[in-house]
Structure 1
Amino acid sequence: MNRPYRPARAWLTTAMLFLLVAINFIDKVVLGLVAAPLMKELSLSPAQYGLLAGSFFFLFAVTGVAGGFLANRWPTRWLLLAMAVIWALVQLPIAFGSSLATLIACRVLLGAGEGPAQPIAIHACYKWFPDARRNLPVSVFQQGGVFGMVVAGIAVPWIDAVWGWRTNFVVLAVLGFAWAVLWLAFGREGPLDAHTAATASAARDDRGREAGTLAPAQRVAYRVLLTDRTVVSIIALHFAAFLSLALVLTWLPAYLSEGLGFAPRQAGAVFAAVLLTSAPVSLVLSGWSQRMMARGVASRIARGAFVCGCLGAGGLLLIATSVCDCGQTVKVVLIALAIATTPIIYSLGPAMIAQVTPPAQRGAALAIEYSIAWIAGIVAPPAVGWMIRAAHNNVAVGFEQGLLLTGALLVVLAVVGLKVLNPERSLERLSRHVAV
């Protein structure tokens, strides 16, 4: 049967989501890039700054889950538009606020608005691409995060030097409103879920399954879905990967300048270079996994074992960074390689979640998975701040302790995941618990 896969429109949507994710990650990383002048002007200690950085995630998980359930019922086009407008609005008080309480309140609201962004964007993308084609487009639009952080790494220190750190938040407000206008003009809802729902009855077998997936009209109790071994393993791996991302976003610029001795602008350039190396690696890895799927390799291998191998390698690199007695260049290279291997979970993890979840529940399932994993964003920044304080405000020692713990967790979870990650087995198990 000819399915309504429209490549041109699908990739246009991917391009728009790329820009959205770029803005999303600039929002996240900007605080780390203005950490030094912000802490100096507001007289913040490392622990206070860690609290401010972590505040972005205080409501992140709650609104992420809520947004996922809304995405089960409301068009993703309008949900994404509303989120972009909220992001833009809450940047303005940050630009003019002077107290720690004001900044924390604004970052909490910003995090609440951005909580559902990634899972709803993935859900929107999946409405344009069939399962076998989903690895690469998600990886492509998520490179918007790398692009945004690279742009931020170059532009934010320059804006700070010329106009002051507060101007960055005005710029972010303008970017958010501009994207909202573009999305209103070009954003559309993908047709694949509706088409699948309309034709599912012709393709089901006597147990109600369609072509190796759960039928759109079927539902699985969330208690059953969220306790599946594959789903639990993906959430755990995602959590560990987000720990490393949260460390990079909030503390790597300070580590480069205060720990490794780079000048502020040089630290911003190095930060951008570290992030830039991850883009081609992530795309190659996602494309490799998708080609394996196209050749008929089981998802257990092409997605599950593949992602575990990448995250395990990233964990070993983080451990090496923290324990090796080497120069600044080697440490930067090790961090760059680690950051290049761990983001594969951001595309393959959701693909496996979608593989075992009915389309009618996909938005909520993705949001729950993302929101639990993003709790790492609450934990990591203040934890490293406390480690730095315990090390007598030595940024290098505290940050590298955080890398060591994160790397060890990645390695352990990757080894466990090799044994338990099996989407095909999970799909078979969950299909016995469906309810139309």
Structure 2
Amino acid sequence: MRWVVLVLLFFGMIINFADKSIIGLAAVPIMEDLNLSYAQWGIVGSSYYWLYPVTGIFGAALADRIGAKKMLGFLMLTWAVLQFGVLAIAALPFLVLYRVLLGAFEGPFSPVAYSHAHKWFPPKLRGFANSVVVSGATVGAMIVAPLLVALIEILGWKMAFAALGAASIVWAVAFQLLTKESPAEVYEQAKQKQTKKLEKLDIKAFLLLLASPAALFTTLAYFSTYCLVVWFSVWLPIYLVEVINMTAGQMGMAVAVIGIASTLIYIGVSSLSDYLFKRNQNWRLSRVFVVAASMIAGALCMTSILAFQHPVWVIAAMCLAKGLTYTILPIGPTIMINEMPERGGLMTSILTSSGNIAGIVAPALTGFIISLTPSNEVFGHNLSILFMAVLILVFSALFLYFVKPATNVEGEGQAEGEDLLQKSN
């Protein structure tokens, strides 16, 4: 059952990020149809994240109470309604409203998915499991880009959005029919224990925990990487077409290549982290050092694009930059959940929602940076890349220096016991 859950979470994340990224792939026809400027397009990209952090926290906290299965099914159905609603969009205000509402209902998905995978896998496999879930984001945002571009060109951008709505309905039905909330015997024990703890959450202690170095600098590192996540989603297609001079078809293939290569990279790094953790049980070495080193290397690859803008190197550097910096996405949730295991959904939502504040700032800021140099758009795009790289370098260094995760022996032992119980059953 754990592998069925993981596969469906993987496909759910594909839909989640396809919903996010299709707006960037359809940027040119949308801007032409609605007569939008770069500044207005930056607002469209930013609007998705206006409610995302808030609903992410409350949605994940609610999922801790009612169960991930019900919450994820409900979220998918709301996405379907909104994607079909795109057919009625005829002006900028409606496009912004659609993006705000889509972001609001997609906000809880990632933290709930990470927390749900956490329940089904023991510590020695959680890095891998989360990397599979995260890889669904890359598939949805990049690898399926040629398919989405083809849908946009054949059906028009509105019908392409509606097709994603249909995929959401299929997923919601499959998830309800094929999965369970958690391992049966363990769930009954955990449910009683969790219900008691949920009623006695110490708000002051919780806020102090969020301000601790482990939680604070993990969140900031996630934030810096998510600036790049948003850049890849909103601005990469435009960058490849207008700066690197690719056609729409070439752009779609390049985005897919970047997605495939980067997925293999961060799954490999996450598996390395799991391997080191299994051998030494050392959080600093296996989680923090591996992630920080990868992020720093990825940021340096990103800066190399400023000096070498040959299309082949741009794609190669993007593969490395995305794959290496994204390692915080699967490993970060394991660090946060480790700080308060009984509140896994809530802790992960704090991480993802706080990090996704980048989604509010980054698209609009990128549009503003590019608009500063209207006579030299190449320089503006390069300046935005430099900004992303420096941000990641700074916060990954802080993450490396300050984050010293707690050793949660009880939680680790319980998870291993759950794993043995599942095997015996």
Q: What residue in structure 2 maps to residue 194 of structure 1?
A: 187
Structure 2 CA distance for aligned equivalents of residues 149 and 106 of structure 1: 19
Aligned pairs for 1:72-221 (under 5 A) are 72-191=64-183, 194=187, 197=190, 221=205
Aligned pairs for 1:260-299 (under 5 A) are 260-299=244-283
Q: Is the 8 A contact 2:276 2:286 kept in 1?
A: yes
1:415 corresponds to 2:397: yes
Structure 1 CA distance for aligned equivalents of residues 304 and 34 of structure 2: 35
Amino acid at match of 1:258: E
Q: What residue in structure 2 maps to residue 20 of structure 1?
A: 12
Q: 1:300-337 deviations in whole A, cap 9, x for unaligned?
A: 11001111111111111122223x14422212221221
Structure 2 CA distance for aligned equivalents of residues 60 and 167 of structure 1: 25
Q: What residue in structure 1 maps to residue 352 of structure 2?
A: 370
Structure 2 CA distance for aligned equivalents of residues 247 and 196 of structure 1: 43
Q: What residue in structure 2 maps to residue 353 of structure 1?
A: 336
Amino acid at match of 1:240: S
Aligned pairs for 1:7-46 (under 5 A) are 9-46=1-38
Cα distance, 1:193 vs structure 2: 6.1
Q: What residue in structure 1 maps to residue 416 of structure 2?
A: none
Q: What residue in structure 2 maps to residue 344 of structure 1?
A: 327
Q: Is the 8 A contact 1:305 1:421 kept in 2?
A: no
Give the secondary structure class of the aligned counterpart of 1:288.
helix
Q: 1:182-212 deviations in whole A, cap 9, x for unaligned?
A: 1111121113863664898xxxxxxxxxxxx
Cα distance, 1:369 vs structure 2: 1.4
User: CA distance change for structure 1 residues 106 and 334 in 2, over 3 Å: closer, same or farther?
Assistant: same
User: CA distance change for structure 1 residues 259 and 198 in 2, over 3 Å: closer, same or farther?
Assistant: closer
Structure 1 CA distance for aligned equivalents of residues 222 and 44 of structure 2: 23
Cα distance, 1:141 vs structure 2: 2.0
Q: What residue in structure 2 maps to residue 204 of structure 1?
A: none
Amino acid at match of 1:358: P
Match of 1:327 among 310, 313, 330: 310
Q: 1:55-98 deviations in whole A, cap 9, x for unaligned?
A: 11111011001112212211110000000001110011213311
Give the secondary structure class of the aligned counterpart of 1:134.
helix
1:314 corresponds to 2:306: no
Q: 1:221-273 deviations in whole A, cap 9, x for unaligned?
A: 21121011011110000000000110010000010011110011111111111
Structure 2 CA distance for aligned equivalents of residues 117 and 199 of structure 1: 25
User: CA distance change for structure 1 residues 40 and 303 in 2, over 3 Å: closer, same or farther?
Assistant: same
Q: 1:283-314 deviations in whole A, cap 9, x for unaligned?
A: 11111110111112401110011111111111
Structure 2 CA distance for aligned equivalents of residues 92 and 144 of structure 1: 22
Q: What residue in structure 2 maps to residue 6 of structure 1?
A: none
Coordinate RMSD, CA, aligned? 2.0
Q: What residue in structure 1 maps to residue 234 of structure 2?
A: 250
Q: What residue in structure 2 maps to residue 386 of structure 1?
A: 368
Q: Is the 8 A contact 2:308 2:314 kept in 1?
A: no
Q: Is the 8 A contact 1:255 1:395 kept in 2?
A: no
TM-score by length of 1: 0.88
* Structure 2 residue ranges without an equivalent (≥5): 410-425
Structure 2 CA distance for aligned equivalents of residues 198 and 163 of structure 1: 47
Q: 1:147-206 deviations in whole A, cap 9, x for unaligned?
A: 223453111221222221211111011001111111111121113863664898xxxxxx
Give the secondary structure class of the aligned counterpart of 2:235.
helix
Structure 2 CA distance for aligned equivalents of residues 262 and 362 of structure 1: 43
Q: What residue in structure 2 maps to residue 203 of structure 1?
A: none
User: CA distance change for structure 1 residues 118 and 161 in 2, over 3 Å: closer, same or farther?
Assistant: same
Structure number with the higher helix fraction is 2
Aligned pairs for 1:42-81 (under 5 A) are 42-81=34-73
Q: What residue in structure 1 maps to residue 418 of structure 2?
A: none
1:304 corresponds to 2:288: yes
Structure 2 CA distance for aligned equivalents of residues 37 and 199 of structure 1: 53
Q: What residue in structure 2 maps to residue 405 of structure 1?
A: 387
TM-score by length of 2: 0.90
Structure 2 CA distance for aligned equivalents of residues 140 and 405 of structure 1: 29
- Aligned sequence identity (%): 28
Structure 2 CA distance for aligned equivalents of residues 177 and 145 of structure 1: 18
Give the secondary structure class of the aligned counterpart of 1:423.
coil
User: CA distance change for structure 1 residues 70 and 216 in 2, over 3 Å: closer, same or farther?
Assistant: closer
> Which segments of structure 1 move beyond 2 Å, counting only runs of 4 or more?
130-133, 149-152, 191-200, 215-221, 393-399
* Structure 1 residue ranges without an equivalent (≥5): 1-8, 201-214, 429-436
